[in-house]
């Protein structure tokens, strides 16, 4: 951030009075510009013994498989956002959304929220951000081609939990690690 | 938003190519400025049969009672943020944080996340954003002076769940309503 969104003057990183950390503060109108973490909402869409995956048509991780997910938008709830992303990426309508996994990723200031849900009538298609989509059993999933660690963990948890029929909500933090 | 944070030129609300909603786009450098919901993290700090409440020293709802909570900061996890807010507002160290209630508040683009936790050694104080703080039993809570509906709902859920000893994670949406 270089310029103030209110008046267009330059901003400087300083600690405002009464605060304890640096913020972008306008050198002219003194507006304080807070920068906060962003929420990524997604679904784990299930149909019978299969889950719906999308092959990414966009960077990062183009060509790798993921669950439908994306940045939460203003004016929506977290399940609404998760369902919207699933429509956009996999042209599937989802029902019975239940919060399932939350991942804090502090080194990039993101919070992921995945909802377990059903694929209405088992129908899906291919949205503009996907190269292809498909329903996969545990054995069929391309485990070595999953786009992001949070997606792999969510899928692994799910197939563990299927065995017991209990799907507890879990929160975990993802630490930074360089991809090997 | 009136000015671009990258170059200081004016921005205009337009739908970028490939998008389906209006964004603030710079009229000069064409940077797209996304605006996303913010996360409020908080605690439901418990000691024996009491919960820790704070009387607000700041607007909005100055003088009303709340649970310690505030905007999540970049670089922290949701439980770290909830614990930080509890220290800032009530000078209490908390342990055993368990996600408890999530509230979507789409009309102000906020997501609340409350963690149930223990107050270390039952010790607390008064932070700069509080007029006073205290541990209250269900009967002692000033129910008519609670600052926000999400706080009242969280407290009500808790004392219901205490009866069974089960504390399921719940997600709910808060619809807009004018205060009576």
Residue A104, domain CATH: 3.90.79.10
The CATH code of the domain that includes B26 is: 2.20.70.10
Residues B31 and B46 in one domain: no
The answer on A45 and A24 residing in a single domain is no
Q: Which domain holds residue A116?
A: 38-173
Mean pLDDT of B83-91: 98
Residues B161, B143 within the same domain: yes
Which of chain A's residues have a Cβ under 8 Å away from the Cβ of B116? none
Same domain, yes or no, for B78 and B131? yes
Distance from CA of A50 to the nearest CA of B (A): 25
Which own/partner pairs from A105-109 qualify as long-range (CB within 8 Å, at least 24 positions apart)?
A105/A150, A105/A173, A105/A174, A106/A173, A106/B75, A106/B76, A106/B77, A106/B80, A107/A175, A107/A176, A107/B75, A109/A36, A109/A37, A109/A38, A109/B74, A109/B75
Instruction: Kindly state whether residues B84 and B166 are assigned to the same domain.
Output: yes
Say whether both A65 and A84 belong to one domain. Answer: yes
| Structural domains in chain B (count) | 2
Which residues in chain B touch residue A10, judged by CB atoms under 8 angstroms apart? 8
Do both B82 and B141 map to the same domain? yes
Report yes or no: B9 at the A interface, CB cutoff 8 Å.
Answer: yes
Q: Say whether pTM exceeds 0.90.
A: yes
Tell if the CB–CB gap between A8 and B3 is shorter than 8 Å.
yes
The answer to whether A6 faces chain B, any CB pair under 8 Å, is yes
ipTM score assigned to the predicted complex: 0.94
Q: Is residue A176 very low, low, confident or very high in pLDDT (cuts 50, 70, 90)?
A: confident
**pLDDT tens digits, one per residue of A60-102:** 999 999 999 999 999 999 999 999 999 999 999 999 999 999 9
Same domain for B15 and B100?
A: no
């Amino acid at each position: 951030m270089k310029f103030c969104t209110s008046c267009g003057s330059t901003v400087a990183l300083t600690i405002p009075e009464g605060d304890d950390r640096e913020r972008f503060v306008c050198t002219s109108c003194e507006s304080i510009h807070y920068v906060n973490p962003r929420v990524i909402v997604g679904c784990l869409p299930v149909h019978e013994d299969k889950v719906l995956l999308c092959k990414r048509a966009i960077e990062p991780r183009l060509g790798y498989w993921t669950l439908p997910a994306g940045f939460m938008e203003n004016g929506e709830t977290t399940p609404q956002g998760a369902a919207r992303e699933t429509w956009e990426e996999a042209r599937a309508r989802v029902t019975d959304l239940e919060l399932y996994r939350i991942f804090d990723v502090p080194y990039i200031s993101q919070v992921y929220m995945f909802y377990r849900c059903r694929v209405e009538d088992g129908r899906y298609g291919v949205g503009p951000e996907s190269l292809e989509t498909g329903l996969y059993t545990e054995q069929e999933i391309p485990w070595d081609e999953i786009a992001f660690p949070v997606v792999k963990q969510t899928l692994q948890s799910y197939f563990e939990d299927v065995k017991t029929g209990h799907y507890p909500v879990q929160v975990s933090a993802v630490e930074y690690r360089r991809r090997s």
